[in-house]
Amino acid sequence: MSRNDALRAARLRVGWRTAEQAATRLTEHGQRLLMGRHFTVSARTWRRWEGGCPGWPPEETALVIHDALGRWPEDLGFTTPPGWLRPERQEGEQVTRCAFVSVTAAALVPGPVSPQYVDPALIGYFEQQLEGHYRADMFLGPHDLIGTVSAQYQLIDKLLRSAQGETRRGLLRAGAAYAALVGWLYQDAGDLNGAAFWRGVTQEIALRSREPHLVGYALVNQAQVRTDLGDGHAVLDLCEAALENSSRMVPKVRVMALQQQAHGASLTGDRTAVDRLIDQANALLPQVDDDLPWGNACRRTPAYLEVQRATCYGRLGLGHEAVSLWDQILTSVPDTARRDCGVYLARHATAAANAGEPEQAWEIARPAVQIAAETRSARMRGELRTLQRAMRPWQDAPVGQALLETLAGVTEGN
């Protein structure tokens, strides 16, 4: 079999009957793998690859080909460049440099760029778009938005290199909010490395803006990643640093820092501090009246602080107390917050299991599984894996088996 026949055989093996279909399917696969819409392969390119002597594809493309077809380009007739070493699996995890390139590309564009006039009206445009992205995130989950929001951050970064005065300061504020949203999307997608990188970008641009509100907001964003890593002491450190300048920050940022500090306290087993910090945040909530376009979950989310308290109680193993709170909270969740509802249901089910109510846990979890499948939220899958661990005492009972069947497929992967 000649080399070009190897690629043709590989595409036929996966059901891609023509070069046009292969190009379309590889493009779709690459956009999912790289979590962005920049990746494309044309039918003309594919036909050239199946020619007598194809060259070597770009590194991202080589990794997408391997992920889609299960073989590296050197095994599919491509001419291997000198010094190329194929990535191998290390301790069961594939080394994918393409993921790093994809994560950092929008934030690390080399400059300078050609000067251009930057209209101040663009600030309002980006702020309006930001609100739309927040709403879309509630419906779509992270994967369909990462590419779009990253591209807009990249445009803001480009404009910042020409903007002056108040226009520049407004774009810095918008850029910090966009970077924070990209970081959140990576976090929800289960990529904590990507999330940590973009939280760092948020911190950098917040410091450049010299706005205490944004610096505090960026620190809370970094604390969120540390919460997902289970590093309670780091969460406390970051939130305490944010609150050092609390007199210069709007109440909203102080609320965010206090509730995140409560999560850190729950990770260190301090139930008293959890209640104290949530109560302090609750006293500040009526004072939140700013018009900043970012960080508005405390106003947008019904029972926002009780959600945090219930989550902390669940983490502390206070099953009965958490169940009681979730029973109240879930009656106020709107249909538009479907992804959040799925997370809450998974946490509610875990609390029921910790309270010794496995049948109730299974019933609560069933709709959460459907929402997890729809949104592809890694955060929700993580909550369901926590539920799975909480149900281990009943793993051989019918209810435990029923739960395993319900969770099959959804809790696999990252």
Render pLDDT for 37-72 as a digit per residue (tens, 0 to 9): 677 888 888 988 888 677 788 777 888 888 888 888
- pLDDT category at 371 given cuts 50, 70, 90 is confident
For 219-271, write each residue's pLDDT tens digit.
999 999 999 999 999 999 999 999 998 888 999 999 999 999 999 999 999 99
- pLDDT category at 93 given cuts 50, 70, 90 is very low
User: Which comes out higher in pLDDT, residue 81 or 273?
Assistant: 273
Q: State yes or no: pLDDT of 100 exceeds 70.
A: no
pLDDT in the model for residue 414:
43
pLDDT in the model for residue 37:
60
User: Which comes out higher in pLDDT, residue 285 or 9?
Assistant: 285
- pLDDT category at 96 given cuts 50, 70, 90 is very low
Q: State yes or no: pLDDT of 1 exceeds 60.
A: no
**Of 338, 252, 254, which is closest to residue 296 (Cα–Cα)?**
252
Q: State yes or no: pLDDT of 158 exceeds 60.
A: yes
d(CA 163, CA 115): 9
% of residues, the chain, pLDDT over 70:
91
- pLDDT category at 90 given cuts 50, 70, 90 is very low
pLDDT in the model for residue 4:
59
Contact 322, 310 (CB under 8 A): yes
User: Which comes out higher in pLDDT, residue 178 or 378?
Assistant: 178
Of 102-111, 281-290, 400-409, which gets the smallest average pLDDT?
Answer: 102-111
Contact 197, 104 (CB under 8 A): yes
Of 32-41, 270-279, 357-366, 368-377, which gets the smallest average pLDDT?
Answer: 32-41
User: Which comes out higher in pLDDT, residue 361 or 372?
Assistant: 361
**Of 378, 285, 6, which is closest to residue 410 (Cα–Cα)?**
378
Q: What is the mean pLDDT of the chain?
A: 86
Q: Is pTM, for the whole model, over 0.75?
A: no
Q: State yes or no: pLDDT of 167 exceeds 50.
A: yes
**Of 347, 264, 267, 274, which is closest to residue 309 (Cα–Cα)?**
274
The three-state DSSP-derived secondary structure of the chain is CCHHHHHHHHHHHCCCCCHHHHHHHHHHHHHHHHCCCCCCCCHHHHHHHCCCCCCCCCHHHHHHHHHHHCCCHHHCCCCCCCCCCCCCEECCEECCHHHHHHHHCCCCCCCCCCCCCCCCHHHHHHHHHHHHHHHHHHHHCCCCCHHHHHHHHHHHHHHHCCCCHHHHHHHHHHHHHHHHHHHHHHHHCCCHHHHHHHHHHHHHHHHHHCCHHHHHHHHHHHHHHHHHCCCHHHHHHHHHHHHCCHHHCCHHHHHHHHHHHHHHHHHCCCHHHHHHHHHHHHHHHHHCCCCCCCCCHHHHCCCHHHHHHHHHHHHCCCHHHHHHHHHHHHHHCCCCCHHHHHHHHHHHHHHHHHCCCHHHHHHHHHHHHHHHHHHCCHHHHHHHHHHHHHCHHHCCCHHHHHHHHHHCCCCCCC
Q: State yes or no: pLDDT of 99 exceeds 70.
A: no
- Which of 70-84, 313-327, 387-401 holds the top average pLDDT? 313-327
